[in-house]
Amino acid sequence: MSATDVLQEKYAASMMLTYGMPPVALARGCGCTVWDVDGNSYLDLVGGIAVSALGHAHPALIAAVTEQVGTLAHTSNLYLHERQVELAVRLIRLLGVDGRVFFGNSGAEANEAAIKLVRRAQGAERPVIVAADGGFHGRTMGALSLTGKSSIRAPFGPFGVDVRFVPFGDAAALADAVRQDTAAVFLEPCLGEGGVVPAPAGYLKAAREACDQAGALLVVDEIQSGIGRTGEWFAHSAEGITPDVLTLGKGLGGGLPIGACVGIGKCGSALGKGDHGSTFGGNPVACAAALAVLDTIERDGLLANATTVGASLAAGIEALGHPLVAGVRGAGLWLAIVLAKPVATAVAATAQRAGFLVNAAQPDAVRLAPPLILTAAEADAFTEALPAILDAASVVAPSQEA
């Protein structure tokens, strides 16, 4: 039995099987490469689902976290600490707005804070939140209520949030749904879990206008799209709008758990003393990690790297002209290879055998969300290996798809 088999057997006996059985047991990583417990190496094009922005074992992250854990690992929010304030100031400056930040430990917690914020700001006369079909906002009860995939939401209702779903990308349907009873609209600039589906140009602007007209707040969920993923600090900047609330997570901590809810303008003051809290939220070690992520993105020009390497990766995949590739969606180092057949799970499996980790985000969409440090040579290595990976996947029967 391999070391992976042994671990999987123990996992099956001891872990709740909420994730099914993960096919790979990772032991360590360096840069964009990871190794499993049997010593096999993989080029990591998943990045822990758009989290490991600096790749694995990055010296800046190691130094920041080591220094902080050796100085002060935890304070609770009864006491303030420098790293948390520094990170809040930094995020507000990057956004170029007036605002205030609440820190949690995950994306879902950032959205929970946003849900409470809009309730507090809008009161009981506006019970409705508008969200998109195919959208994803997290797995906790509030965030789940906004998640536009009924197979993962429906078994857990009823929810305490009254949600009106609209088709993603349809500006007219959105304007129609945002009414006097609406507290807020929650939107991703580009569906992440939904398969890296960018909103049509002008959609966020239309959402902004619909909100302004009806007196609703616009909450932009950049938990997956933010912090350089698309080649911009924030994906919504490219749309020329300012949200009322912005949520962040995933790549912000570079692998350490942190989430942030940014209230912009008067939304920064909507939650007051006693309204919300989190024991670990804004933990010094997580904040030190996030500061190292922001510093490194800036110092090493990783926004430009995401833009150029991402563009050449997308162009390279499209230029293969492979019959199984219907197209490539996304921007920066956040792409979906759109397949002509729903065999994404098979592609992920054959890629893994070839030494590449990719993610089957949808039956017909293979998601790439590699570290922002991915080099052109690493991207090329994947593009060159891809035809054989796709050929191998083509022969897998569609019935094997989950």
Ligand X SMILES: *Cc1c(COP(=O)(O)O)cnc(C)c1O
- CB within 8 Å of 65: residues ≥ 6 apart: 256, 285, 288, 289, 292
Give the binding range for ligand X (CB under 6 A) out of 30-38, 103-111, 157-165, 364-372: 103-111
Q: Is 108 in the site for ligand X (CB under 6 A)?
A: yes
The whole-angstrom separation of Cα 190 and Cα 241 is 15
Q: Is 138 in the site for ligand X (CB under 6 A)?
A: yes
**Given candidates 137, 229, 322, 367, which one binds ligand X under the rule CB under 6 A?**
137
Beta carbon nearer to ligand X, 178 or 219: 219
Amino acid at 106: S
Q: Is 136 in the site for ligand X (CB under 6 A)?
A: yes
Residue nearest ligand X by beta-carbon distance: 107
Choosing from 44, 102, 103, 136, which is the catalytic residue?
136
Q: Is 102 in the site for ligand X (CB under 6 A)?
A: no
Cα distances (angstroms) measured from residue 336 to each of 141, 246, 311, 371? 28, 24, 12, 15
**Half-sphere CA count of 125, side-chain side, radius 13 A:** 7
Backbone angles phi, psi at 331, to 5 degrees: -145, 155
Residues numbered 166 to 205 that lie near ligand X (CB under 6 A) are 188, 192-193
Min dist. Cβ of residue 192 to ligand X (A) = 4
Residues numbered 149 to 168 that lie near ligand X (CB under 6 A) are none
Q: Is 239 in the site for ligand X (CB under 6 A)?
A: no
Min dist. Cβ of residue 335 to ligand X (A) = 15
Total Cβ atoms within 10 A of residue 61: 24
Binding residue count for ligand X, defined by CB under 6 A: 15
Q: Is 136 a catalytic residue?
A: yes
Q: Is 221 a catalytic residue?
A: yes
The whole-angstrom separation of Cα 281 and Cα 63 is 21
Taking alpha carbons only, the member of 143, 183, 180 closest to residue 159 is 143
Total Cβ atoms within 10 A of residue 265: 15
The residues of the shown chain that bind ligand X, judged by CB under 6 A, are 106-108, 111, 136-138, 188, 192-193, 221, 223-224, 249-250
Which amino acids are annotated catalytic? Answer: 136, 221, 250
